[in-house]
Amino acid sequence: MSLEIEEKAASTASAQGDAEPIVEPLVFERSGEGKVGYSLPALDVPETIAIPEALRRKEIAGETQVSEVEVARHFTRLSRLNFSIDQGLYPLGSCTMKHNPRTNEEMARLPGFAASHPLAPEEVLQGALELAWRLERILSELTGLPRVTLQPSAGAHGELAGILMVRKALEKTGKPRSTVLIPDSAHGTNPASAHFAGYKVRELKSNARGTIDLRALEEGMTEDVAAMMLTVPNTLGVFEDQILEIAKIVHAKGGYLYCDGANFNAYVGVAKPGLMGIDVMQMNLHKTFSTPHGGGGPGAGPVAVSETLVPFLPRPTIERRADGTFFLDGDRPDSIGRLRTFLGNFGMFVRALAYIAAYGNRIGEVARGAVLNANYIRAGLTDVYHLKYDTPTMHEVVFSDKKQVEQGVSNMDIAKRLMDYGFHPPTISFPLIVHGALMIEPTETEGKPGLDAFIHAMREIARECKESPEIIRTAPHTTPVKRVDEVGAAKNLVLRWRP
Amino acid sequence: MKFLPTSDAERAAMLAAIGASSVEDLFAAVPAEVRAEPDLPPPMSEIEIRRLLGGLSARNANARETSFFLGGGLYHHYVSAIADQMLYRAEWLTSYTPYQPEVSQGNLQSIFEFQTHICLLTGLEVANASLYEGASALVEALLMAERLSKGRAKAVLSAGIHPEYRETVRTYFANLGLEIVEVPLAADGATDRKALVAAVDERTFAVAVQSPNFFGIVEDWKAGSDAAKNAGALSVGVVAEAISMALLSPPGEGGADIACGEAQSLGVPMHHGGPLLGFLACRAEHRRQIPGRLVGQTRDAEGHRAFCLTLSTREQHIRREKATSNICTNEGLMALASNIHCSLLGKKGLREVALQCHAKAEYLKGEIAKVPGYQIPYSSPTFNEFVVEAPEDAAPLLARLAARKILAGIPLSRYDAKEKRRFLVATTEMNVRAEMNSLVAALGGKA
């Protein structure tokens, strides 16, 4: 997948004093006096500026002057420097990089959704309110929990909402308590969210199977613990088979069981968190429900809650009257309040609803496909890569570089070499309990040929590690840029273009 | 199912390779007691899905088919065709956070360009890769100021800041031991300067003012930044209508240390309130406390210019509970749209759009002021939004107009029950004189 270097682009840059060859100049470097990229109608009202000069600016020095042609080409060329799901397997563990149905994109752009304003009178917004209400009901059915808020903008925002609701519920009955228990395998957002809800974090060590050590939990689960945050399946892709005992221990001390639903893709439509004793759980619409990742957002992080937590849901909630009309209920005195403006990332609600409708009552096939694929990769690689925990795998499998380190090759090197084989690397910074992790999540939308090609590439790389490790250490060799100096970027900070 | 690419024969071969007799075997760890089939309707075809969602869409008033004057932190501006069409490209739509820079240079360079646009617009030196939206951006800005203050515990907020932003700050601050003091507006609609100065003390870590404020009024950034400086606090400039920065003196010029808010106006459709585009910019010396993702310029192994995420030691995946923020995503695709849109409009177009928004608001304000019984209660200058006082309760009036396809404004009673007769009217470059005249006629009972 070598990408051509724009010679012309390079010469544009050198004309501005930058002699290095670059793939595509910055849009600002294409700027030139007299070029225009827009057109506006003539002003149909008197021209006037009724603002004192002292409160105005003269110009936006340095802003662009480029034509539409150049902008179209610039962003098309830039796009070709990205790897994407539509090009091939993108097995970034914990991120659930699955196919994004295109009809959903068109639906989100319908005028009644994309050009609608949430502060219009309720009477002319019934379609939008019904859509959000329907999605809430569906997520409630899938989680087995009675109510859902759609407001949080992403998973971490949902975690914060969930822990704030727990806090408010505990305050209502006495003290908010001081601590949240989090396993050492958890996503980094969990402790950060607990911290921003005003809690101390106590880490819970995983056992040799990579799951919760019930004895350690019993010791740690004191009456000062507000909640335990548990990822199901955990970041090793392992289902906590003692989930019912875990819930019992947490509840016995009056705590709440929070589930990080980032990995819901492993059991959506097969099992329900509500039946597991989970009290509160965020879902990532951009993972399980296929709203596009878009190069890093927008996401959406709805939160499902048990009956006890309903009074504390963020304001406003979406309610249905007896006559079938919908309204926003802001009069909720026990609510934790608002977490952002308006209703949340509504455009993502449209896409998620469309996605779930396409599967309907067969949505369990998503989980079954995801788990089958991860296990197939595991079976294809266990003899060449080290598997720290051999507990059964659900939707993702975490190998490590232990065998390859002996040849002086790290998981980072393996990740870079995978690019030469035409794949996006797996997650490598995570989970912290596996040193040199290679966290692979294929999702259900990869077919056997793609999985076979990936397994083949990983096996070839394992062979190269033994026979020619230098080729791995200097990888990637075929990408638009060679290995990027990330240390240098942090040392010598250049965070913007300057005129 | 059309999103599942595995044939029956392939599935059988895969199970054989795994050594399992059925897919069900792979779920052995999931206890029987927690299993349940979802009670959902059968799968829908693409045609049926389009029919369902088309029907729901048709039941919402939309800005393309109405006379539209709603704002309140969310505006109906033109979005360049390229800015939207580019988002359909798989390379933008179906990629993720550029953790692996060698295969993500497109996303990284686009974010670097977006950061530059935000710096140029705000007049500040460093901007992040975007945040969820305006209200949480304000929270992040305040928490950043709190960290920089090393021990101060009070934030002073102007009552002119969007009410939903202030409510969001209260939600976040409730458990962090931080105090919020709100400074009222003076009779002219701008933040009361005397009250502002009086509210700020040596315990204050931030002074936040919004301009144009929620009521449309152009504030003097210096009111906030002077008060902050005198007390050794940081000044936060909030902007909920980003196109205003093309005409008005931006927060950085007015002495703000941090600028934050909502950049939806710069290339992002209203989306019924989300996804939007939060932004945050600051002075260079504070960059190590900036929350969210940051892209920096560097070199690759051959010495060529390249980009990557940087200063990630601030972030949750490394620092966990000690991180500058719990957020993990930005609004990547919206930042891309905004980069494209700003690049097209550029230096001249951004200003021309801002001038049109302002001129139309001035025209409409003047015409409404002539309608018997209607008043413009605030005398201060406004940008593209202003408060109108009706001779009757605004909410039912606005609902009646909405039924006639005129979305005339937002009733202030939505946020303050006492403000029964007042409503907020906004204009953008999308409004034409004829629809403004029809609004005026409707208010005057002549249409």
Q: What is the pLDDT of residues B119-137, one digit of tens each?
A: 999 999 999 999 999 999 9
How far is CA B227 from each of CA A182, A278, B186, B196, rounded to the nearest angstrom? 42, 48, 16, 7
- Inter-chain CB proximity B271 and A113 less than 8 Å: yes
Nearest to A389 by CA among A402, A370, A376: A402
The rounded Cα A324 to chain-centroid distance in angstroms is 35
Tokens at residue A6, please? 């724009």
Residue B428 has pLDDT above 50, yes or no: yes
| CB atoms closer than 10 angstroms to residue A477 | 13
Residue B13 has pLDDT above 70, yes or no: yes
- Inter-chain CB proximity A241 and B38 less than 8 Å: no
- Using a CB-CB cut-off of 8 Å, the residues of chain A touching B342 are 63-64
Q: Look at residue A210 in the predicted model and tell me its pLDDT.
A: 96
Q: Where are the beta strands (DSSP E) in B317-368?
A: none
The H or E element spanning position B316 is: helix B316-319
3-state secondary structure A306-344: CHHHHHHCCCCEEEECCCCCEEEECCCCCCCCCCCCCCC
Q: Minimal Cα–Cα distance from B71 to chain A, Å?
A: 8
Residue A20 has pLDDT above 50, yes or no: no
Q: Look at residue A372 in the predicted model and tell me its pLDDT.
A: 98
Q: Are B428 and B77 in contact (CB under 8 A)?
A: yes
Best to test chain A binding among B87, B96, B122, B144 (most A CBs inside 10 Å): B96
For residue A405, the SS3 value is helix
Q: Look at residue B387 in the predicted model and tell me its pLDDT.
A: 98
Share above pLDDT 90 across residues of chain A, in percent, rounded to a whole number: 95
Q: Look at residue B103 in the predicted model and tell me its pLDDT.
A: 97
Q: Tell me: the pLDDT tens digits for A372-429? A: 999 999 999 999 999 999 999 999 999 999 999 999 999 999 999 999 999 999 999 8
Tokens at residue A185, please? 């395998």
Q: Look at residue A12 in the predicted model and tell me its pLDDT.
A: 37
- Inter-chain CB proximity B106 and A424 less than 8 Å: no
Q: Minimal Cα–Cα distance from A273 to chain B, Å?
A: 7
Considering chain B, what is the average pLDDT of its residues? Answer: 96
Q: Look at residue A357 in the predicted model and tell me its pLDDT.
A: 98
Nearest to A447 by CA among B275, B14, B127, B198: B14
Chain A CA closest to residue B9: A448
Q: Tell me: the pLDDT tens digits for B294-310? A: 999 999 999 999 999 99
**DSSP secondary structure letter of residue A34:** T
Nearest to A64 by CA among B120, B87, B306: B120
Residue B85 has pLDDT above 60, yes or no: yes
- Inter-chain CB proximity B346 and A31 less than 8 Å: yes
- Inter-chain CB proximity A241 and B30 less than 8 Å: yes
How far is CA B406 from each of CA B68, B76, B89, B413, B436, rounded to the nearest angstrom? 6, 14, 36, 19, 10
A121-124, long-range: CB < 8 A, 24+ apart: A121/B395, A121/B398, A121/B399, A121/B402, A122/A325, A122/A326, A122/A327, A122/A328, A123/B399, A123/B402, A123/B403, A124/B60, A124/B61, A124/B402, A124/B403, A124/B407
- Using a CB-CB cut-off of 8 Å, the residues of chain B touching A105 are 88, 93
- Inter-chain CB proximity B349 and A46 less than 8 Å: no
Residue A186 has pLDDT above 60, yes or no: yes
Tokens at residue A346, please? 């509504």
Q: Tell me: the pLDDT tens digits for B325-344? A: 888 778 999 999 999 999 99
The H or E element spanning position B157 is: strand B154-158
Q: Look at residue A122 in the predicted model and tell me its pLDDT.
A: 97
By Cβ distance, the residue of B29, B56, B318 closest to A130 is B56
Determine the Cα–Cα distance for residues A410 and A351; give it in Å rounded to an integer. 39
Residue type, A381: L
Residue A11 has pLDDT above 80, yes or no: no
- Using a CB-CB cut-off of 8 Å, the residues of chain B touching A293 are 94-97, 332
Chain B CA closest to residue A18: B305
Residue A17 has pLDDT above 90, yes or no: no
Residue type, A198: G
Best to test chain B binding among A495, A497, A498 (most B CBs inside 10 Å): A495
Residue B84 vs residue A18, higher pLDDT: B84
- Inter-chain CB proximity A424 and B103 less than 8 Å: yes
- Tell me how many residue pairs between chain A and chain B have CB atoms under 8 A apart: 711
- Using a CB-CB cut-off of 8 Å, the residues of chain A touching B27 are 267, 270, 368, 371
- Give the model's confidence band at B315: pLDDT under 50 very low, under 70 low, under 90 confident, else very high: confident
Q: Look at residue B447 in the predicted model and tell me its pLDDT.
A: 60
- Using a CB-CB cut-off of 8 Å, the residues of chain A touching B246 are 57, 60
Best to test chain B binding among A4, A18, A22, A82 (most B CBs inside 10 Å): A82
Q: Tell me: the pLDDT tens digits for A124-178? A: 999 999 999 999 999 999 999 999 999 999 999 999 999 999 999 999 998 999 9
Q: Are A441 and A94 in contact (CB under 8 A)?
A: yes
